[in-house]
Amino acid sequence: MRILLVEDERAFAAVLARGLTAEGYAVDVAHDGRSGLLLASTGAYAMIVLDLMLPVMSGYAVCTQLRRDGVTTPILVLTAKDGDLDQVEALDAGADDYLTKPFSYSVLVAHLRALTRRAPALAESELTVGDLTIDTARRTCHRGDTLVSLTPRELAILEMLARAGGRVVAKDELALQLWVDEDVDDNAIEARVSALRRKVDRPFGRASIETIRGSGYRLVDDAPA
């Protein structure tokens, strides 16, 4: 599941992004309201975590504009304010839920899961490539009827490849999206992909994760005719 995090406190955003990535989410980060609005408007996200006090364009304005433009992606707002009027204003602007800073990381994850349960389209969201199915809400993977146990990072890689629709995903792109603010080299990425292959391909006699030398990886339907 891909999440957009819009937060101007860079250190705080990096911590949240690392934690969410470890939970199996794919996370994009924007540090001002205008950038967040542009990314959110693409409709590429299952969830938006939006700080209210942002430079360039406030979270209130971002939320209002997204709803005005017909973007229905669930929005969880973060605010350092705890007044009832601020919460009411955020919800009236179109937010689905809010958290007041400071908050514990476990509470943030619980709120995201609750938002997923409230959105039927998200709860039923599945990515399918041949007989390989990734349930982006439950964060599970099946090869046919067989459940494949993956780590959160492996699942995030597989989801990113599946969402690419057969497009080659470069190692740099994987690093940028899945190792937010972490130093990772090509060898580490190759090791992760190899581990993923050992789980979703080799036990089933498949080769759905292809290496495109000098470019990256792609996920294909290699089911027998």
The per-residue pLDDT for range 177-221, each reduced to its tens digit, is: 777 667 788 899 999 999 999 999 999 999 999 999 988 999 999
Q: Specify the pairing of strand 140-143 against strand 209-212.
A: unpaired
Q: Where are the domains of the chain?
A: 2-121, 126-219
CATH class for the domain made up of 126-219: mainly alpha
Average pLDDT score over residue span 56-78: 90
* pLDDT, tens digit (0-9, with 9 covering 90-100), for 13-65: 999 998 888 887 888 899 999 999 988 887 778 899 999 989 999 999 999 99
Considering the entire predicted model, what is its pTM?
Answer: 0.59
* pLDDT, tens digit (0-9, with 9 covering 90-100), for 86-118: 677 888 888 888 888 888 888 888 888 888 776
* pLDDT, tens digit (0-9, with 9 covering 90-100), for 121-140: 554 467 899 999 998 767 78
Return left, alpha or beta for 6; rule: phi > 0 is left, psi -120 to 50 is alpha, else beta: beta
CATH class for the domain made up of 2-121: alpha beta
* pLDDT, tens digit (0-9, with 9 covering 90-100), for 80-94: 766 556 677 888 888
